[in-house]
Amino acid sequence: MLIQATAWDSGPLSRVDLHHSTRLRPSTISLIVRRLLDEGKLLEAGRGDNPKGRKQNLLRLNEEFGSILALEFDDEKITASVIDLYMKIKASITQQTVLDQGMPGLTQQLLYCAHKAIEQAEIPTRNLIGIGVADPGLVNTHEGVTVTSSTIEFWRHVSVKQIFEKEFAVPTLVESKTRAKAVAERVLRAGKIVGDMIYIDYGAGIGAAMILGGRLVHGHRWAAGEVGHIQMIENGPACKCGNFGCLEAIAGTVALESRMRKALAEGSGSKALELVGGDTSKLTGWTVLRASRLGDKTSSAIVEQAVKYLGFGLAILVNLFNPSLVILDYRLEIAGPDFLDQIMRIVKQQAIAYSTQDLILEFARIREAGVLGMGLMVLQSFLGVLSLKPPKFLLESRASSKQLSGVEQGALPDLTSSNSDSSTEKPEGLVKT
């Protein structure tokens, strides 16, 4: 796997380059390369530009020799994607999550979406090198088990790895979706290479993923990053973790929705109601964030309170871990361009000044971060790569629009937006009980 891993990370590169990178003997490299070319695992990629000597034939990993099935889900939606080895999404399907059929129904829906993505990609299951599942709960990654979830109450003690390996007979990796998104942002947004960063996943729940010293932090029992369950106020609203006054119970999307419904019941007017056409059944926390951006006073007051506590939570993380970069869930952009400034102002007020002097706070850039992060982790597990640094080919593609001689145009994906064939389906009638 060393040759394939080097070709993925640093390709296109010559046999001489492989010798310098791996320290394998040239004769050994020639034998391995010949076999990998015959098996279709490597491809010739033209000739390198060597002004000092004979031009060398370049080699790169064949992104088509295997595929990865990656899933991301939470209480709102499920996305299943088939990804090639250069992290280009080949096919994708998205459904609204069905929760009223309990664990059996959700399990069946996840498997259905997985099968549909494979069908859409038109690949045989035997071509999969692995499956990755980005789970919304607290995940024991070593065992592939979801321990608990604060946003899907029945999703507890679920052997996700076992379920998928039984269905597909393919090695399966299970990780929290927050950590999966952090890995995608760390590796694929090339150009922001930092040793210490924190990713904040936002929705009904609020999670954090920490990459410190270039390593993803899991904690003693895989529970690191549960920032949503830091108690912010005494005697606050009940949280699904069993405590009261937790950050996600105060500032998550469900909390925003609850406060808006209470305000409407008490006679307050709001543009949030206009945004859903007067149908209160469609009202969500995201509606409140959007209405706040439009200048709605009721929504702005609700969001302002949420921002305050989000800022408090981030300040705690900054004091504890001293990151150089904090990335917020891109969906929070719906609240408007001032949202980051408001949170940063609170973080600087609450955290020690030394730690915030050069702190960068940004929105996430990668829309399919959950599935792409799982794709990366599956690929790195398959190749035996442990680094969370951006691969050389991605750094070079971002630094310059020029392609090396012989490299196929379009081989490297635009990782900030989807260019795949995708479909969104309504789940009604598709889930068997």
CA-CA distances (angstroms) from residue 395 to 11, 15, 228, 385, 399? 11, 21, 34, 17, 6
Separation between Cα atoms, residue 349 and residue 347, nearest integer Å: 5
Domain with 352 in it: what CATH number? 3.30.420.40
* 219 & 356 share domain: yes
Q: Give 400's contacts (C-beta < 8 A, 6+ positions apart).
A: none
Contact 206, 239 (CB under 8 A): no
Instruction: Annotate 27-62 with b (16+ C-beta within 10 A) or e (fewer).
Output: eebeebbeebeeeebbbebbbbeeeeeeeeebbbbb
Separation between Cα atoms, residue 249 and residue 179, nearest integer Å: 21
Tens of pLDDT along the chain (433 residues) come to 889 988 888 878 889 889 888 889 989 999 999 999 999 999 998 887 665 556 788 998 998 889 999 999 999 999 999 999 999 999 999 999 999 999 999 999 999 999 999 999 999 999 999 999 999 999 999 999 999 999 999 999 999 999 999 999 999 999 999 999 999 999 987 555 667 999 999 999 999 999 999 899 999 999 999 999 999 999 899 999 999 999 999 999 999 999 999 999 999 999 999 999 999 999 999 999 999 999 999 999 999 999 999 999 999 999 999 999 999 999 999 999 899 999 999 999 999 999 999 999 999 999 999 999 999 999 999 998 777 877 776 666 555 433 332 223 333 333 333 333 444 555 544 443 2
Q: Whole domain around residue 48: which residue ranges?
A: 2-61
Q: Position 103: which residue type?
A: M
* 266 & 325 share domain: yes
Contact 232, 313 (CB under 8 A): yes
Last residue of a domain, one of 363, 383, 403: 363
432 falls within a domain: no
* 221 & 314 share domain: yes
Separation between Cα atoms, residue 195 and residue 45, nearest integer Å: 32
168 falls within a domain: yes
Q: Position 126: which residue type?
A: R
For residue 400, the model assigns a pLDDT of: 46
* 175 & 265 share domain: no
Domain with 10 in it: what CATH number? 1.10.10.10
* 81 & 24 share domain: no
* 302 & 335 share domain: yes
Number of domains in the chain: 3
Query: What's the burial of 229, exposed, middle or buried (CB within 10 Å: 0-12/13-18/19+)?
Result: buried
